[in-house]
Structure formats: C-alpha cells, structure tokens
Structure 1
Amino acid sequence: MDVLVRNAAGRVGRRKRLLAAAAGGALAALVAVPQAGAQTTVRFVGERYPALEFYAEKLRTAMPDVNVTVDLMPNAQLKELQTITLSSGADTIDIFLGNDLTIANFAANGWLEPLDPYIEKYREEFDLDDFASTAMASASYEGKVYGLPVLTNTQLFAYRQDLFEEKGIEPPTTFEEYEAAAAAFHSPAVAGTVMTLKGDGVLNEAHYYLNAIGDGWFDADKRPVFNSENGVRAIETMKAMTAYAPRGYTANGNDESTILFQQGAAAMGMQWLTRTAAMDREDQSRVVGKMMWAPPPGGGQVVVADSFAISKFSSRDKDLLFRLLATTLSADNQREGAKLAVPTRVSVLQDPELQQRFRYYGVLVPSLEAGANFPKFPEFKEVSEVVTRRIMQAVTGEMPVKEALDTAAAEAEEFLTRRGVYK
C-alpha cells in the first residue's frame, strides 16, 4: 500500500515549480484534445496504469458538452501534486484518483466534496446501489461517501483443487478447517499453506486474522482492541499456522508466494486476486488449471479500492462532476474494462460471461462482502508499522503473544497521543 505524501513543509520553492510544471502540462502523461463546442472544462489527475488509462478515456468522452483534460503520472508525483494543490485550496484540480488512505486523509482535512446528496439524488438513474458495499466503504470516511470506486482488489483463498479432490477434502470455511487441511497437506515437498509476511505482507495477513478471529485493530475511539482476548487468540492462530508454512516464510512477499504456488510448492493460502492470472501462465506455472479460489475462511481479509473523488475547492458545478463520474462508471464501461481490472459493480461481477472467462469471478462477490477495509483514520498506516513489528515478534516466538500485543497497544496509544488523535 502506498502512504500519502505528508508534511511537505520546507519545500516551498519545489512546490511552486511542481505546480507551475503541472499547470503547464509537463507532468501530464496523457492530455486530452479539447472537444469542439465544449461548454465546461474539467481537469482530472490520476496515476498512470492500464486500467486507469481505459477509465480516463471513458471519463473524457462521458458527456459531449464537457471537455475533460486528463493528466496521468507516477504515483509519488500524483500524491505530491494532489497534496500541494488541495492543501492550498486551489481549484486547479476538479477530479482525482484516490485510494483508501488518500481518501481518508483528504476527507479528514476537509478537502473532498461529500457525495451523499448526489448519491441520493441519482441513486436510481445511475443504479448506484449496484456498487459493492465494501468497495463503497473504501471510498468513505466517518460515515460519509467521498468517492465512487473505479476498481477494487482483495485477497482470495487459493487452493490446489487436484490435491483437495485426491484427499476428498472440501475447501475450508472456518479456521479450524483451514488448519486441519494445512496439516493434512504439509510435507517436505509441499507446504500446507503460504504465509506472506515480507514488508506489507504482515499487515495484510494480520488484518485477516484480527478481523476473522479477533475484534479488529481499533475501536470507534481509535483505542487498540487488537490485544483483546480475541485478538490474542487471532495472533496465536496465526503463529500456529506458521508450522505449515514454507521455510523462510518471514522473507516471503507476494512475488515469492506466487512462485511457490506456480511451482506446486504450496497447497493453499491467501492470494491477491491480481495474482490469480499468473497461475495459468503456461510459460511460468506448473499448476495450470489446477488452482481454484474460494472466499477466505472466516472472511475479514483486506479490501482496497481506487476511487474517483471531487475536490472541495473545484469551482465547477459539483452536480455535473458527479454525473460525469457516474456516467463513466456505468455497468457497460465496467464490463468492457473487466479485462484490465476488477469491476466494482455487483452486476458486472456476476456477469455469466465474465465468470466463465475469469475463474475466480464466481467467488468475488461473497469475498468482497465478507472482507474488511483498513481502519479509516489518517494515522493508521504509520501506527500499523509500530503494531506489526510486535506482531512479527509474536508470530516468530521472539515474544509471547499476549506480551507482544500489550506492548504494541501501549506503543500505539503513545504514538496516537503524540499525534493529537485523542481529544
């Protein structure tokens, strides 16, 4: 996960140069040609990647009387430009792309236009209830919606269908079944389950256990609950599952876990849906056609989304901007873009043709509905780094689980107190 660029103080000269360059289009990766007779000009800035290029073009052509200029750039430059522009209250950006953390940060700062009135007004016209609820939650902050989700990503439970059929075992739906299946398949040649604990992997893995078994990370007042009785049980379970993980599991990131699956060296485990296609690459994989996916046992796995948001400081008609976004994210457009990214509309996810083309589509809706977003407060990413260091110590046996989590809770509260979170 990328962290919002923060605290740009002390770089005023560089900010001015960046803003001047952006205004002149030097940072633009794609700038649309103005449409003849356009009555309104709208500027969109986003990150450059294939799915966004597709939706940027749909945005540009969504409404014939609106001229949309599109600037796509690398992630770091995008977040810096967004932060500089919005923090200054400038109206030089109308629509932009944000992820879970940027939406939370920008909304907390009062930089985003709440979309709830427009959603209520246009609910039926644009079938807005069709958006997956967890994807919408990714674009929300403190009970208000600040974006429309463009694409979503989550983790699925990947498993070797052939191995399960040989042993007559059904895909697990509970952690008890998960642990039993991992034990049944574990051998020197095949790990019972992958454990992805390198870098942000420990955050994602702990998020799953703490939501499926525990009480989550923090309560409504941002006080730690990950060290509750259920939280301790969650991390104890996570620690127990490492007995069936490959050697060196603490150094395994998403790339390493993907390779383990491709080489037939792991029977099951959590996998980002963006990695599913790699299982059937004949030039890389020994398990072509053998991998299947199910909703993660117990649910609670991380769900993230990239969303379109509207700047609070835009001088354009906000009603028009919302209609522009809703038109761009129609079911037809999402169906067309499904080959590039996972759609956020339930009707598209349940499309029979797409479910036939993409084998994991059949479990996406229940997986998304059972998933959980990261806590929605701006300091979470930073404080999670403090907590996950202790979780790693607990999982590897460096500290007793209860002691590690209590220590993490005290450190988290001290950190959040220093940041002024507690009033």
Structure 2
Amino acid sequence: MTSRILRRSLLATAVLLATLPGLSNARCNTLSNAKPGQINIIGNTFPALDHIAKEMESCTQGGLKVQYKLVPSPQNENETLQAFGSSGKSAFDAAVVSMGTFTKLQSAGQLQSMTDLVNKYKAKYKIEDNMLVKVNGEVMAIAFMQNAQNLFYRKDLFDKHGIKVPATYADMMAAAKTLKEKEPGIEFPIAQTFAKGWDSATEFTNIFAGYGGRFFKAGSAAPDFSSDAGVKALETMKAMTAYMTPNYLASGSDDVMNQYQQGKAAMGVLWASRASRMDDPAASKIVGKMEFTAAPAVMAGGKSATHLWWDGVVMPKNLGGDRDTVFQVLMEALDEETTAKGNDLTIWVRSSYKPTRFATGVAASANAGAPQWPSEPYFGLAHGEIGKIIPDVMTGAMTPKAALDAAAVAYAKAAAEKGFLK
C-alpha cells in the first residue's frame, strides 16, 4: 500500500531554507457549497506541519472557522486515537497523522473512506495517484510528505579531524570518541531521540531491524522480540549513551535538534523533517555545516537501520461536521501552492516538489535498504511495551534479556485482551 507512495520522490537532493511568503488571500475562495461552522483539525508540530496548519487556518472566512491544534508527539496520537475512537462525535473533523498512527486507526475501523470525495475533487485540486493511500481499493488517507530518521553529521568537524562518514553504529561511536577527545566544546558528540516511551522504542525498532530481528513469530501475533537481535539492539543503545548528554532519556526531537543547532552535538540519527532547521539563521549556530546521509547500519554491509514513513490526512468515521467542506479545506492546504511555498521544509509527495539537500538522507537510507515502518495492527502494542522497559536497561536496573522478557509478557497480555492472541 505505502510503497507506491514512497517511490516517486525518495531519490531527492538539495538547497537552502527559503522564507515563506505571506499567506494567499485567495485561499479557499472557491469552496463548493461550503457549510458554515467550525472545523477542528489536530496534528503534530514541526516546520512542515506548522506551515500546513497556517494554510488550513487561512480558510477561515465568513461563517467558516478552521482551527488546527498543534500537539507534540506522542500526545497528538493519543488525542487523535481518543477522539476518533469515542462513542459520540469526534472532537476533531480531521487529523494529520504518521503512517504509524494511520495503521492503528485503520485497524480499529475508525477511519472513513474518501474515495468519493477524491473522485469529485481530483481535477480541481490536482490530487495525484501517488498521494492516495488505499486499503482494499478505498482511499483512506491522502499522503503529502515522506520522512525517515537519517544521519546528521557536522561535515566541518569530520573534515577537520579526518573522520570518515559513519557507515555503521560502531563507526559512529568511534567518530564520537575522536571528537570527544579532540574537539573542545563537544563533550557529548552524539544526540539521538532516546526519550523514554515512543522515541526510545522507535530507536529500538530501527536498530533491532538492522540486526535482522522480527517482532512477531511468522504468521502470528505472538511476540518474538525477546531474542538475540533484541538484546544486541539494547546493548548498542546503551553503548551509545557514553557519548550522549546525561539527560538522554528526556531527548526528544526538539531537544536533539537544539543540541545540533547550538553546536553541542556533532552527529546522530534524527527525522529528515528537522533537516532544514539546521540552516535557520534565527535558531542555528551551524548554518551550512550539517550534512545528511543514510542512517548507519548496525552490521558492516547491512541495511540502513531506519524505516521509511509517510504523513497524511485522514477523516474519522464518527465525523460530526460536513465531510465535503472538511475535505475541501484539507485539499486547499495540500495543493501545489502549499508545496511551492514550503518546498524546502520537507520531502513532499507531489510531483511539483523540487528536491533539496535536506532530502539526501532519506534518499540514501532508501537506497541502503531501509524498510517501511511495521504495519501489523498489533505492532503498536509491542512498541508501547518496549518503550516502557528501555529506561531500566539504559540505567542498569534490568538486563536487556530480562527487560525484553517482561515486555513480551506485557505485550502478550495486551494482545490477548484486544483479540490478537488466544
């Protein structure tokens, strides 16, 4: 389903962050039979989504008000799942979601098809086939951007000390050792999203896949992550902490981005959607110094230890507003004008996107064999339980094997309660 979406522009390369022009006064002036009222939309907050939020809210006019609630991850997912799963009308008429959240919503039967609306407005909004996320032939989401966690590294410091770009995690830790010893001001060379919960579980998922691990036994929802690959993944993560800030269990995407921008860290794996912020002169001290490439493998010659993602818009089955009006607002904010004005903010799915240097890491990761994010409907349960035990492993309170065994037991119980296991 998602491979068709990701193919078109994953081979992207370069340019610098442009200042966004003012919002167009013509936005939403051709809505067809729009119903008055308030449209509420929820989504994550990072540069590309902040841009889209402004475009959506610019549709406020006359009796129509559009409000986009920017909520950091993972709280935005929690609020979306709660609203779309409520017994009454959803508090949100639409949501901007990652493919991980989409999988949870779709498997719970909480999304409505947009096939008829796509057919009705495809020509008007130039909706491209590669934007359509289909399940059993029905359009359940409209994808607009691609993402992946890839390697950020300070090329100036690597050149200065004759360090090769890391191809493996062992290479990255060797480079970190060199910088810690030789580069004043770089006390903690690696910054990565090890925040307890969702972030650290996602890091585990990437590294675990790199070791060839599988979460579930073949053809089953039974857990299979308490394995040698799982132990190795946690051991790799723990080894990295020697080169990270002591507050690494609080390092989410914003904190890691800030460490890079302020010149406190020199490398690490982070979302490509944050790449353009490295060259933001208002926030960054390292403009032009950060480069991007494939996330390292965990074994020499192995696949890039990351996953490919997309973000898109969805509408709840329990939508309370006028679905036609909601859909038009979403498409207004995802049109070619939005892509052009925010071209350098992300890797857009639209064919009008002009690739920039901030996309090179995603392209390199894809070429290095990075798989797509797991799509099993029960994967989120396993991911959640693993996020709970990682802090105990990192601090030495539990061994990797004991922690994974505990997570497997907790997951099996949750999966049984949901009907995935008998």
Q: TM-score, normalised by structure 2?
A: 0.68
Shift of 1:146: 1.8
Contact 1:89 1:313 in 2 (8 A): yes
Question: SS at 2:342's partner residue?
Answer: helix
Does residue 344 in structure 1 map to residue 348 in structure 2? yes
Question: SS at 2:181's partner residue?
Answer: coil
Measure, in 1, the Cα distance between the counterparts of 2:405 and 2:119. 43
**Bigger radius of gyration, 1 or 2?**
1
Kindly provide the CA deviation profile for residues 83-136 of structure 1, in whole angstroms up to 9, marking residues without a partner as x.
5677557699875544445533432332323467998999999574544xxxx7
Kindly provide the CA deviation profile for residues 267-313 of structure 1, in whole angstroms up to 9, marking residues without a partner as x.
21122334434433446544332111112123343555542224446
Measure, in 2, the Cα distance between the counterparts of 1:279 and 1:120. 40
Kindly provide the amino acid, as one letter, of the partner of residue 193 in structure 2.
Answer: T
Kindly provide the amino acid, as one letter, of the partner of residue 50 in structure 2.
Answer: P
Contact 1:142 1:376 in 2 (8 A): no
Partner of 1:4: none
Partner of 1:411: 410
Shift of 1:366: 4.1
CA separation of 1:213 and 1:37: change in aligned 2, threshold 3 A: closer
Partner of 1:270: 269
Measure, in 2, the Cα distance between the counterparts of 1:155 and 1:290. 19
Measure, in 1, the Cα distance between the counterparts of 2:375 and 2:237. 20
Partner of 2:279: 280
CA separation of 1:322 and 1:47: change in aligned 2, threshold 3 A: closer
Match of 1:70 among 66, 69, 93: 66
Match of 1:183 among 160, 177, 183: 177
Measure, in 2, the Cα distance between the counterparts of 1:34 and 1:244. 50
Partner of 1:394: 393
Partner of 2:359: 361
Partner of 2:9: none
CA separation of 1:104 and 1:162: change in aligned 2, threshold 3 A: same
Does residue 194 in structure 1 map to residue 188 in structure 2? no
Contact 2:145 2:312 in 1 (8 A): yes
Does residue 309 in structure 1 map to residue 314 in structure 2? yes
Measure, in 2, the Cα distance between the counterparts of 1:177 and 1:187. 16
Partner of 1:334: 339
CA separation of 1:347 and 1:362: change in aligned 2, threshold 3 A: farther
Kindly provide the amino acid, as one letter, of the partner of residue 348 in structure 2.
Answer: T
Does residue 45 in structure 1 map to residue 50 in structure 2? no
Cα RMSD, aligned residues only:
4.6
Shift of 1:158: 0.9
Partner of 2:13: none
Does residue 422 in structure 1 map to residue 406 in structure 2? no
CA separation of 1:122 and 1:182: change in aligned 2, threshold 3 A: farther
CA separation of 1:336 and 1:130: change in aligned 2, threshold 3 A: farther
Question: SS at 1:156's partner residue?
Answer: strand
Shift of 1:205: 2.1
Partner of 1:233: 232
Partner of 1:212: 210
Shift of 1:182: 3.0
Measure, in 1, the Cα distance between the counterparts of 2:360 and 2:202. 23
More helix, by proportion: 1
Measure, in 2, the Cα distance between the counterparts of 1:263 and 1:314. 43
CA separation of 1:242 and 1:79: change in aligned 2, threshold 3 A: closer
Segments of 5+ residues of structure 1 without an aligned counterpart are 1-31, 62-66
State the structure with bigger RCO (CA 8 A, min sep 6), 1 or 2: 2
Contact 2:84 2:318 in 1 (8 A): no
Shift of 1:405: 1.6
Question: SS at 1:187's partner residue?
Answer: helix
Kindly provide the CA deviation profile for residues 37-91 of structure 1, in whole angstroms up to 9, marking residues without a partner as x.
9446498531376323344268899xxxxx9863434658998698567755769
Question: SS at 1:307's partner residue?
Answer: strand
Contact 2:96 2:313 in 1 (8 A): yes
Kindly provide the amino acid, as one letter, of the partner of residue 41 in structure 2.
Answer: G
Measure, in 2, the Cα distance between the counterparts of 1:289 and 1:417. 51
Measure, in 2, the Cα distance between the counterparts of 1:92 and 1:403. 41
Kindly provide the amino acid, as one letter, of the partner of residue 52 in structure 2.
Answer: L
Measure, in 1, the Cα distance between the counterparts of 2:253 and 2:76. 25
Kindly provide the amino acid, as one letter, of the partner of residue 198 in structure 1.
Answer: A
Kindly provide the CA deviation profile for residues 244-267 of structure 1, in whole angstroms up to 9, marking residues without a partner as x.
334443343444433432343322
CA separation of 1:247 and 1:211: change in aligned 2, threshold 3 A: same
The size of the alignment, in residue pairs, is 373
Identity rate of aligned residues, in percent?
25
Shift of 1:161: 0.1
Greater CA drift, 116-125 or 38-47: 116-125
CA separation of 1:142 and 1:387: change in aligned 2, threshold 3 A: farther
Kindly provide the CA deviation profile for residues 213-260 of structure 1, in whole angstroms up to 9, marking residues without a partner as x.
242544563332322222222222222222333444334344443343
Greater CA drift, 97-106 or 166-175: 97-106
Partner of 2:162: 168
Kindly provide the amino acid, as one letter, of the partner of residue 213 in structure 1.
Answer: Y
Measure, in 2, the Cα distance between the counterparts of 1:328 and 1:284. 26
